[in-house]
Amino acid sequence: MQFFAPLTVMWALVASGVTAVAKEETKTIDQLYADAIAEGGKLVMYHGGDTPTQQDSLHAAFEERFPEINFTMVVDYSKYHDVRIDNQLETDTLVPDVVALQTLQDFTRWAKEGTLLRYKPKGFSKIFNDLKDKNGAWMAYTIFTFGYIYDSSALGGLAPPTTPADLTNPEWAGKIASSYPNDDDAVLFLYTRYVEKYGWDWVTSMSNQNITFNRGTNFAGEFVDSGKSVIGVGTSGGSAPIEFVGGNGTEYLSWGQRVGILSKAKHPAAAKLFMNWAVSEEAQTSVVYTTVRTDIGTDHPWNDPEANMAAFPAFMEDREKVEMWKQTFSLYFGEVQGEASPGFLGVHPGL
């Protein structure tokens, strides 16, 4: 009888649904909307970012589409949101229902811990395979891209800085803005790729360029847009006359912003509504920055090795190496200075 006991337990687990595989959602958006309203019509999301208003367009698009949902969006650095969630779970005071962060390693950890609900929204099968958990614990809903930029209208007749090596030229001294590489992991990764190609002599030269550093990945782009700097490092592209440098021999970074539903979410129906809407053809073609779906468009960053879409998640998992890189850059550029750009949000924002 003892021999058959494990089999009995196994079949009991299967029967109870413990080992059941999440299937893709079959309900329509309108049905999910009705479920969310019946649940109470509330949704709280923690999103990684640099300023309180950075996700206003996402917030507004969701509210316009689903006006009966009271949608609270809280933006803070991902490295604060993740430990905030861990602390809330430990103290049984969880606030958010959905979380979207740059700290990709948190999602693999949370998935193993059972912190994330296994759920596959409609359209999950259309997401590029490397941008989703096979069990549905998380997925990417958009893709962000960092490189460096320059204002082509402010070159003063000088040759444009078309490679990272050009950034060390003396004519650009005092004309470069950058987020701290020892403060943001995506900016850090970008700097590490430049170091691996150009060596530490490049960093030494950059440390002598009188770079204007500040917190928040929005900073460098805003400084270039405002005319305070000619070059911005560790930021996204813009429209003419702002030129983005990445590809064609220069490495850059594109990553899928991961999102998941917390298992202990107070509003799971509203969370499921958000997940289905976020990867819907409607949102993927009109709301998000870059689609994660393989059936929309053809110019996908995962097809460009220089975008480092496979390298970045691996980099984020190796926290010991990440910390080593951060501290080394601190030796060259100094410690991070200034207040956090989103402000101080405390332990339970969004209540």
Mean pLDDT (whole number) for 100-114: 98
Record the pTM.
0.93
Mean pLDDT (whole number) for 336-345: 97
Is residue 242 a contact partner of residue 209, using CB atoms and an 8 Å limit? no
- The bridge status of strand 98-101 relative to strand 42-48 is parallel
Mean pLDDT (whole number) for 178-205: 98
Residue 6: pLDDT over 70: no
pLDDT on residue 254: 98
Per residue in 112-162, pLDDT (tens digit) is 999 999 999 999 999 999 999 999 999 999 999 999 999 999 999 999 999
Give yes or no for a cis peptide into 305 (omega within 30° of 0): no
pLDDT on residue 20: 61
pLDDT on residue 73: 98
| CA atoms of 202 and 206, how far apart (whole Å) | 6
Residue 201: pLDDT over 90: yes
Top pLDDT among 5 and 103 is at 103
Q: What sign for the dihedral angle of Cα 208, 212, 213, 219?
A: negative
| CA atoms of 6 and 4, how far apart (whole Å) | 6
Per residue in 224-253, pLDDT (tens digit) is 999 999 999 999 988 999 999 999 999 999
Residue 97: pLDDT over 60: yes
pLDDT on residue 267: 98
Residue 12: pLDDT over 50: no
Structure confidence at residue 22 as a pLDDT band (50, 70, 90):
confident
Average pLDDT taken over every residue of the chain: 94
Residue 183: pLDDT over 90: yes
Domains and CATH numbers, the chain: 24-144+256-295 (3.40.190.10), 145-253 (3.40.190.10)
| CA atoms of 322 and 188, how far apart (whole Å) | 8
Residue 255: pLDDT over 90: yes
Main-chain dihedrals φ then ψ at residue 139, nearest 5 degrees? -155, 165
